[in-house]
Structure 1
Amino acid sequence: MNLGYCFYFHHVGSPSVIQTPYSSVVQSNYSLQLITDSKTYSRDCRKSNYYYQAIRVKVMETGYYALSSSSSIHTFGDIYEDDFNPMNPFENLLLQDYRSCSYEDFKFIVYLHTGIKYILVVTTSSPNMTGNFSILTYGPNNITLDPYTQSLTSCFIGQKCQFYKKSIGIILDDILRDEIRPNMTFTDQTILVKIVAALTMIMFIGGLINSTLSLLTFKNKDLRQVGCGIYLLASSVTSFLTLSMFTVKFWFVILTQMDLSIRPSVIRGGCISIEPLLKLCLYLDAWLNACVAIERAILVFKGIKFNKQKSQRIARWIILILTLCVMGSIIHEPIHRELYEMKTETNRVNIDRWCITRYSLSVQQYNTIILFFHLVAPCIVNLCSALFIIFGSALQRSTAQTRQTLREHVYNQFNEHRQLLISPIILLILSLPRLIMSMLSECVNPSNHRLLFIIGYFISYTPSMLIFIVFVLPSALYRKTFQESFKRWRRQIHR
């Protein structure tokens, strides 16, 4: 069969433009259609809403192949190598159809290799066009044409060639963004948004109660004669700040997506500052709890030689140093955070805003290590300190009380201090959802399992509500001090 085609096209790869008659070819036909449910993109980065079909092309033999289209909708064809990114139609572009002779559909010849993935994208010469089309292929051997579905769009923010590749990890912005209805009041939002708002306020109130009761306990001077009391007093403050920033973060996301008239400078300021401040409070709270565990282990190790005054001085310095170290470890976040804004035109102008981070590969790796360190290391410190306290106390008692074996002393100490082991394990389990979400691929779409992500996100902040339950209630000394402080506070109110 002699095609007799006259092909002129812009060729990005090699070989160059050719005109080839075939005397003996293998022919195949592939039929598809463009409908209003088909995916759209911007073919030329100027106009939007071009319907398209992406087709994977696989050849059995390396050589020249002719591809042509037959339709009534004036089709346009591009061939991509390795992958097709609808957010950037010029990326990986191998061959672009510039029309051939007087034909209204694409017709070209391309040199294809076996073992390489090619993507043929069929669209139209004008936006919003739909209809049926057929692809005819000619070549030295069979060509396999299969529909190609790419999940690439969930990796990007934006459209019409104005896009940004998302960083690794899922944050509250990603979880709720598609659920919030812009330019509508809160009463017109979805039931899920209202439920999440109610849960946020419940957590804030719970955190306020927890911090108030903890502050009431640890403001006692007797408890602050050692470092533990100072650490727990500071932790009472940071836990409240954590849940306060958690609440601020939620309402910032909701209000800035609901009201698009908010000044960009306000949104930019919140974008840069809120998430880093939230992480600062969260990480600092976890490390303060770890300091309590270390202090208790040192007390067991030193015994009667434990110096309370020295413990006080060291605790104050450690709180300052911890704050500076945590701030230094996440200082890259506000530097790399920015507001991404894009205007889209449909029947009216819409403004889409995203708070994004632009990390290089090295910074992304550092960020992952820091995240893992701040969430996991305090739990490991708590666990190791608890084991040291149990075995250290058992060893000391076995020396003084020889009637019982070391194993029996360990068993007794475990029963006495088991809350020291249970607490860090619970805190680690509660922190796991945040750790997992922070390390998820950038191409994970939260909308597919939105409820699961919301539950995980809220669970990861519950440790900040448990200071009073974890540290005060299990301790007879702290519980007694709280009861006395509470009675004193009530008497002051009723005066």
Structure 2
Amino acid sequence: LHRVKYYHIPCQERPDLECFHDSDQFICLCTHDRRANCFTFDHHMQYNCQQLSYCENNGQCFQNNAKCPTAAICACPKCYLGSRCQLSTRGFGLTLDVILGYQIRPKLAFSRQPLPLIISGVITIIMLVFGLFNAFVSIITFQQKRLRTVGCVIYLFTAAIISILTMTMFTLKYFFLVFTQLTMLRNRTFILGQCLILDFFLKILLQIGDWLYACVAIERLITQQKDVHFNNKLSQKWAKYIILFVCIIVAGTSIQEPLNRVLIDDEDEERIWCIVRYSNSYSTLLNKYTSISTVIHFICPFGINLISAFGLILLIAKNRSESEENVSFHKHLNIQFRKLKSFIISPMVLILVALPRILLAFLVECMKSARESVIIYLVGYFISFLPPILLFIVFVLPSTLYFKEFQRVMKSDWKMFRCWKFNKRIN
């Protein structure tokens, strides 16, 4: 007791300190007036919740009584959150449930919710509108027969369709999360259905899109390497097989997630959570496999875009300088960059968009607490959806060929609309 009277000092010296415990018998909470509110607590106890798997992800379970417990609490391992340690917060595995789940206050009106949640809703709507517009104008451009003579355009046309699906799932994910956590959705079967479908498709659609952009980069590099010997018909044929192969591989490497998704009830906070729960015997192995496959599906397309961008520049300049020895390498580099800027700008923009996610994943290991600021994680989450939104800007606008085709189609459609409107007035 002589020592306890000094326990106010840590609270007063450290404004960010919320609680602490000593090595003997006390745990103390720092109050708003920076006083220590201490009570006895045996932090060496190891009540294992009577062998029940109350805590997820190897969380350590504690009961208030070994023989007749009335309450249990989980001590979560690093990078796991939630009253039952049900949420993983590692970099590449961050989902909207983890970032915003504990920001949502059940039974409160949406207008009274925390600012990050409201801002996220506004950004989601803006990204949906912009993304759908971008996808539709991209489809209008790439569906033209005069462009679809090479596999590159087939990849981009498919990516535009994937973009529509991605942004639709992206928006549904936000609103289903909000409605579920606000207890506005109570049908357990419906909640389980969206739990199985939304996160899985949202993940694989993003990955398929990244691989399609990588396929575009590879084909453009091969086109410049082979020059006039490039086989357009073979390119079209292989593009269809490659797209199918990418879809199967991406879906196959993530199929273990929907097969192991379940709903768990958080009785303390009156919430329902959608989580991935693997059997204990394979839990560690499958968690590592999921993390590795997620990183591969992100890093590989990123690396392909990076290599193809610089490889394209060097290949063009090298070939030209060899054929025209009187012109310097650097001059050819400048000339060819202006001539084929669309081939180079596209992968470079995708690289710049991906960099923040890479930095966030490797520099910030994981969220340490549900009370931690979510702004940086929200920024990383929304940035991951920029590639499908920027498809038209990244691939059509820099290309003279694609943009001229888009203008031609728009002029043709505008003339047809004016004729239809004129005929309607006459009739």
State the TM-score, normalizing by the size of structure 1.
0.67
Letter in 2 for 1:183: K
- 1:212: Cα distance to partner? 1.1
- Once the 2 structures are TM-superposed, how far is the Cα of residue 400 of structure 1 from its aligned partner? 3.0
Equivalent residue in structure 1 for 2:307, among 370, 375, 384: 384
Name which of 139, 144, 159 aligns with 1:235.
Answer: 159
Q: 1:361 aligns with which of 277, 284, 288?
A: 284
CA RMSD of aligned residues (A): 3.6
Query: Do residues 167 (structure 1) and 91 (structure 2) align?
Result: no
Q: Which residue of 2 aligns with 1:23?
A: none
Question: Does 2:44 align with 1:80?
Answer: yes
Q: Equivalent residues in 2 for 1:279-428 (5 A)? A: 279-344=203-268, 351-358=270-277, 360-418=283-341, 420-428=343-351
Which structure features the higher share of strand residues? 1
The 1:463/1:321 distance shift into structure 2, 3 A limit, reads same
Instruction: Specify whether residues 386 and 153 from structure 1 end up closer, same or farther in structure 2 by C-alpha distance, changes over 3 A only.
Output: closer
The aligned counterpart of 2:3 is 30
- Of 313-322 and 443-452, more deviation after overlay is shown by 443-452
The answer as to whether partners of 2:87 and 2:98 remain within 8 angstroms in 1 is no
Q: Distance in 2 between matches of 1:190 and 1:156?
A: 19
Question: Is contact 2:163–2:209 with CA below 8 Å preserved after alignment?
Answer: yes
Corresponding residue number in structure 1 for 2:80:
155
SS in 1 for 2:148: helix
Cα 1:81–1:332, aligned 2, differ >3 Å: closer, same or farther? same
Q: How has the CA–CA distance of structure 1 residues 219 and 421 changed in structure 2, closer, same or farther, with 3 Å as cutoff?
A: closer
Whole-angstrom distance in 1 between the partners of 2:356 and 2:97: 16
| Residues 433 and 460 in structure 1, CA contact (< 8 A), matched pair in contact too | no
CA shift, 1:451, in A, is: 2.2
Alignment of 1:465 onto 2:386: no
- Contact 1:182–1:260 (CA under 8 A) maintained in structure 2: no
Alignment size in residue pairs: 377
Cα deviation code 1:457-489 (max 9, x no counterpart): 212211211111111111110010000011122
**Higher-RCO chain (CA-CA 8 Å, sequence separation at least 6):** 2
The code of the aligned residue for 1:365 comes to K
Establish whether residue 250 from structure 1 lines up as the match of residue 174 from structure 2: yes
Moved more, 413-422 or 285-294: 413-422
Tell me, what secondary structure is at the counterpart of 1:181? coil
Q: Which residue does 1:265 correspond to in 2?
A: 189
Inter-CA distance 372–485: structure 2 relative to 1 (3 Å threshold):
same
Q: Could you tell me how far apart the structure 2 residues matched to 1:84 and 1:436 are?
A: 39
Q: Using the alignment, how far apart are the partners of 2:259 and 2:138 within structure 1?
A: 35
Matched, 1:451 2:375: yes
How far apart, CA to CA, are the structure 2 residues paired with 1:156 and 1:33?
Answer: 32
Q: Which moved more, 1:198-207 or 1:403-412?
A: 403-412
Unaligned stretches of 5+ residues in structure 1? 1-27, 39-51, 58-66, 69-74, 99-124, 128-149, 345-349
Identity score, percent = 32
Report the TM-score, using the length of structure 2 for normalisation.
Answer: 0.77
**Pairing 1:56–2:20 present:** no
Q: Which has the higher helix share?
A: 2
Q: Which runs of 5+ in 2 are unaligned?
A: 12-18, 27-38, 421-427
| Cα shift at 1:188 | 4.3
Matched residue type, 2:87: K
Decide whether aligned partners of structure 1 residues 428 and 82 sit closer, same or farther in structure 2, where only a CA change above 3 A counts: farther
Alignment map for 1:4-153 (pairs within 5 Å): 29-31=2-4, 54-57=21-24, 78=42, 80=44
Equivalent residue letter for 1:428: I
- The answer as to whether partners of 2:106 and 2:183 remain within 8 angstroms in 1 is yes
Q: Give the Å deviation of 1:342.
A: 2.9
Q: The residue matched to 2:299 in structure 1 has which SS?
A: helix
Larger Rg: 1
Which moved further from structure 2: 416-425 or 485-494?
A: 416-425
SS of the residue corresponding to residue 56 of structure 1 reads coil
The 1:433/1:251 distance shift into structure 2, 3 A limit, reads farther
Aligned-partner Cα distance in 1 for 2:150–2:95: 38
Deviation for aligned residue 1:371: 1.6
Change (3 A) 1:249 1:448: same
Output the CA distance in 1 between the equivalents of 2:349 and 2:172: 26
SS of residue in 1 equivalent to 2:123: helix
Q: Indicate how the Cα distance of structure 1 residues 268 and 231 shifts in structure 2: closer, same or farther if over 3 A, else same.
A: same
Distance 1:398 1:154 in 2: 53
Determine if contact 2:185/2:191 at 8 Å carries over to the other structure.
Answer: no
Equivalent pair of 1:76/1:97 in contact (CA under 8 Å)? no
C-alpha separation in 2, matches of 1:236 and 1:286: 12
Q: Deviation string for 1:414-445 (max 9, x for gaps)?
A: 44445544543432342344456667656622
